[in-house]
């Protein structure tokens, strides 16, 4: 009997959702009710939702937001229950809206949509200029437009006050695990530039992201090495960050800084990354 | 004949070692490279030559020698041309030991923790294989035991890497199964060198015993060869060399199979000569393979084991066919 009940509940829910959708359609988009139960399954949408949502509106955030290595809002995040980004558990939360990233598994997003859940996928933020747009978009989805407008305006003003445009820019290298680096058209490159540095990946002709062999990085002799953060456990990928050649370069020529959680998402937290980088450059 | 072979192999090792130092994405001229390497001219150039390229070339020579010698010794002891540390799961078990040491933090706590743990993994595998195969080392038993040990070691390595809290660890299964020398450092040279040197000396002084063994166990025993002692030396020396090599470079397969097979005709099938010849030949093969991975795909870390398997697997199939024809 139990499975039947479950199935009929599901059917019921589906029908009520379809009905709700139909009603919303009839009523017109202009008077769409703000969602009452929002679940976020992406680290970056977690952060924007936590900044903007009404109390009780956000019912779940992603597991990654409880990871102190990458979460800039750990204290706030610990107040929310977490999900593991899997369709089944997210569906059981009975959300009106799921916030996901552009690259969230298409299987998860597709399955949720087939189950009748509304999923909004937010694009990856590749530049500082896109951050106010991302804030406004999440605000619109949550029905918190006024709060989003305030936050976006505040961010733009703070950024304008911080943005440096010195005559001579020290050259900085972004060095992540596996010798990965970020070139033009990346948030990290924008953070660097705003802090008054020039990115050596551009000298090496890299656009977007890519690997810069350690030999070439050393030959470019950067003034500052911004290393990716290291995670617990061990990996060969991260061993390059503390390779003797990199250590020697830091000891004898370049300054060092760390690219950490504040660099990951396009949220106002990047302002702290810019400030720290400016301090490292002094 | 053997003297000419020694000279040719030594010259090849020297030439490839020099070439290995000159190949790299930094695009330094040979003169600049040499000035930086020897006299330390230019900070960036010196770092590239001394901290990035030199350890890579030394490791390639060292690891190749270790794998070639280990293959020749295992083939000599088992009198079976199919015996090889990679195929028999010794490298895979060494990789498992290394991965456990790295993920539990054991490798970070003790200076020689990493190669020691890999050695323990390798000892267990060699011991198990020899126990299963028996003194004569029948091909079928040997290969089946090798498949089982390889599969188990590979699965457990994947499990340990998947359980790691590190987001990069799980994607490194490829490195541990195929091997690579990209971005290794002098630290790795010093970690592996003592273990490889001790293993090599232990095996090279046993040349006479390996020669005697070609006459059969009873004859060898009557010639004064202590077989149980030889067995113990073989287990420890092979595990020491393969363990250290795998701990720093991952499991590079087929070197120990290909090299003794190619060199056997040149040494008149004398195991004692084949031991040192295979050490030199192994160095030649791995140096050449490591130069090739940098020339074929300069910006990507193509794994060494991919190249050695492309050369080695067809040869292995050929050997399987031959041993089948002989009814072994």
| CATH code for position B259 | 1.10.3470.10
| pLDDT band at residue A212 under the 50/70/90 scheme | very high
Q: In angstroms, rounded to a whole number, what is the distance separating the alpha carbons of residues A203 and B310?
A: 37
Whether residue A7 is predicted with pLDDT greater than 70 in this model: the reply is no
Q: Is residue B46 part of a domain?
A: no
pLDDT of residue A27: 46
| Residue A4's pLDDT band (cuts 50, 70, 90) | very low
The predicted structure's pLDDT at residue A248: 96
Q: Nearest-5° angle of CA B108, CA B114, CA B115? A: 155
Asked whether residue A5 carries a pLDDT value surpassing 80, the answer given is no
Q: What is the mean pLDDT of residues B177-181?
A: 93
Number of domains in chain B: 1
Q: In a 3-state reduction of DSSP, which class is residue B169?
A: helix
Cβ atoms of residues B272 and B207 within 8 Å? yes
Q: What residues of chain B have any CB closer than 8 angstroms to a CB in chain A?
A: 24-26, 43-45, 47-48, 51-53, 102-103, 105, 107-108, 164-169, 171-172, 175, 183, 185-187, 298-301
A28 pLDDT more than 50:
no
What is the structure's pLDDT at B130?
Answer: 85
Domain A32-158 carries which CATH code? 3.40.50.1980
Residue B103: list chain A partners with CB under 8 A: 233-234
Q: B35-70, pLDDT tens digit by residue?
A: 999 999 999 999 999 999 999 999 999 999 999 999
**Which part of chain A has CATH 3.40.50.1980?**
32-158, 171-281
Best of B37, B166, B176, B179 to substitute, by most chain A Cβ atoms within 10 angstroms, is: B166
**pLDDT above 90 coverage of chain B, percent:** 71
pLDDT at A21 over 70: no
Classify the C-alpha dihedral A88-A90-A92-A95 as positive or negative: negative
Residue A3 has pLDDT above 60, yes or no: no
pLDDT at A31 over 50: no
* Tokens matching residue B192: 């592996």
CB A12 within 8 A of CB A105: no
Average pLDDT for residues A156-180, to the nearest whole number?
92
pLDDT digits (tens, 9 = 90+) for A111-166: 999 999 999 999 999 999 999 999 999 999 999 999 999 999 999 999 999 998 88
| Lateral strand order in the sheet of A224-228 | A198-199, A171-175, A224-228, A255-259
> Is residue A270 within 8 Å of residue A128, measured between CB atoms?
yes
Q: Domain A171-281 is of which CATH architecture?
A: 3-Layer(aba) Sandwich (3.40)
Tell me: ipTM over 0.95: no
Q: Which ranges constitute the DSSP H helices of B79-185?
A: 90-104, 106-109, 113-133, 139-163, 173-178
Residue B299 lies in a domain: yes
Q: What is the mean pLDDT of chain A?
A: 88
For chain B, the average pLDDT equals 92
Sheet with strand A119-122: strands edge to edge: A82-83, A58-62, A38-40, A97-101, A119-122
Residue B17 lies in a domain: no
Q: Which residue of B has its CA nearest to A211?
A: B299
**Using CB atoms within 10 A of its CB, is residue B213 exposed (0-12), middle (13-18) or buried (19+)?**
buried
- % of residues, chain A, pLDDT over 90: 73
- Rounded average pLDDT over A168-182: 94
Which contiguous run of DSSP H or E holds residue A224? strand A224-228
Burial of A101 (0-12, 13-18, 19+ CB in 10 A): buried
Res A13 pLDDT > 90: no
Q: Greater confidence, A23 or A71?
A: A71
pLDDT-based confidence at B192, cuts 50/70/90? very high
Inter-chain CB proximity B172 and A239 less than 8 Å: no
Residue-level pLDDT at B297: 84
Question: With the C-alpha atoms ordered A181, A183, A189, A195, is the resulting torsion angle positive or negative?
Answer: positive
Residue span of the structural domain in which B71 resides: 55-325
Backbone phi, then psi, for B185, in 5-degree steps? -135, 180
Checking if the pLDDT of B138 tops 80, the result is no
pLDDT band at B245 (very low <50, low <70, confident <90, very high): very high
Each residue of A203-242: b (16+ CB within 10 Å) or e?
Answer: ebebeebebbbbbbbbbbbbbbbbbbbbbebbbbbbbbbe
Name chain A contacts of B298, Cβ cutoff 8 Å: 213
**Would you say residue B164 lies in a domain?**
yes
Average pLDDT, integer, range B161-189: 92
């Amino acid at each position: 009997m139990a499975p039947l009940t479950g199935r009929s509940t599901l059917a019921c829910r589906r029908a009520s959702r379809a009905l709700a959708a139909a009603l919303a359609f009839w009523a017109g988009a202009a008077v769409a009710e703000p969602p009452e139960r929002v679940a976020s399954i992406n680290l970056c949408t977690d952060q924007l939702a936590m900044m903007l949502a009404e109390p009780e509106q956000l019912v779940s955030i992603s597991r990654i937001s409880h990871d102190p290595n990458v979460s800039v809002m750990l204290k706030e995040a610990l107040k929310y229950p977490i999900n593991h980004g899997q369709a089944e558990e997210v569906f059981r939360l009975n959300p009106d809206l799921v916030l996901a990233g552009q690259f969230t598994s298409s299987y998860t997003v597709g399955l949720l949509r087939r189950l009748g859940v509304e999923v909004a996928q937010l694009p990856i933020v590749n530049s500082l200029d896109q951050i106010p747009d991302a804030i406004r978009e999440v605000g619109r989805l949550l029905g918190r437009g006024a709060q989003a407008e305030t936050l976006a305006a505040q961010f733009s003003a703070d950024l304008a006050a911080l943005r440096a445009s010195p005559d001579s820019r020290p050259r900085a290298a972004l060095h992540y695990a596996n010798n990965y680096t970020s070139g033009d058209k990346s948030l990290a490159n924008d953070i660097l530039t705003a802090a008054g540095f020039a990115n050596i990946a551009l000298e090496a002709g890299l656009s977007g992201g890519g690997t810069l062999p350690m030999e070439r990085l050393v030959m470019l002799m950067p003034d500052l090495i911004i290393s990716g953060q290291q995670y617990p456990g061990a990996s060969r990928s991260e061993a390059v960050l503390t390779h003797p050649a990199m250590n020697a370069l830091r000891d004898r020529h370049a300054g060092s800084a760390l690219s950490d959680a504040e660099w990951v998402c396009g949220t106002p937290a990047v302002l702290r990354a810019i400030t720290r980088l400016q301090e490292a450059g002094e | 004949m053997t003297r000419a072979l020694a000279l040719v192999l030594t010259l090849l090792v020297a030439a490839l070692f020099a070439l290995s130092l000159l190949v790299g994405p930094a695009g330094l001229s040979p003169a600049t490279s040499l000035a930086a390497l020897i006299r330390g001219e230019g900070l960036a150039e010196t770092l590239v030559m001394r901290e990035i390229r030199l350890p890579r070339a030394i490791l390639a020579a060292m690891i190749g020698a270790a794998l070639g010698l280990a293959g020749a010794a295992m083939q000599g002891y088992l009198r079976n041309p199919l015996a090889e540390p990679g195929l028999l799961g010794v490298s895979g078990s060494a990789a498992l030991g290394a991965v456990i040491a790295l993920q539990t933090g054991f490798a970070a706590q003790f200076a020689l923790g990493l190669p020691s743990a890999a050695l323990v993994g390798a000892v267990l595998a060699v011991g198990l294989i020899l126990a299963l195969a028996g003194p004569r080392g029948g091909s079928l038993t040997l290969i089946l035991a090798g498949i089982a040990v390889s599969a188990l070691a590979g699965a457990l390595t994947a499990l340990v890497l998947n359980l790691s809290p590190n987001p990069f660890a799980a994607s490194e299964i490829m490195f541990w199964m195929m091997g690579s020398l990209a971005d290794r450092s002098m630290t790795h040279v010093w970690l592996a060198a003592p273990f490889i040197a001790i293993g090599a000396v232990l095996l090279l002084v046993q040349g006479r015993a390996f020669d005697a063994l070609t006459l059969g166990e009873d004859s060898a025993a009557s010639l004064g060869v202590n077989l149980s002692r030889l067995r113990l030396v073989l287990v420890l020396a092979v595990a020491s060399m393969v363990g250290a090599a795998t701990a720093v470079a991952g499991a590079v397969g087929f070197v120990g199979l290909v090299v003794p097979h190619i060199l056997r005709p040149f040494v008149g099938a004398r195991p004692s000569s084949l031991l040192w010849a295979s050490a030199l030949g192994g160095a030649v093969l791995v140096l050449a393979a490591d130069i090739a991975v940098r020339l074929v795909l300069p910006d990507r870390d193509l794994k060494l084991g991919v190249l050695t398997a492309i050369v080695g697997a067809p040869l292995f199939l050929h050997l399987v066919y031959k041993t089948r024809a002989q009814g072994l």
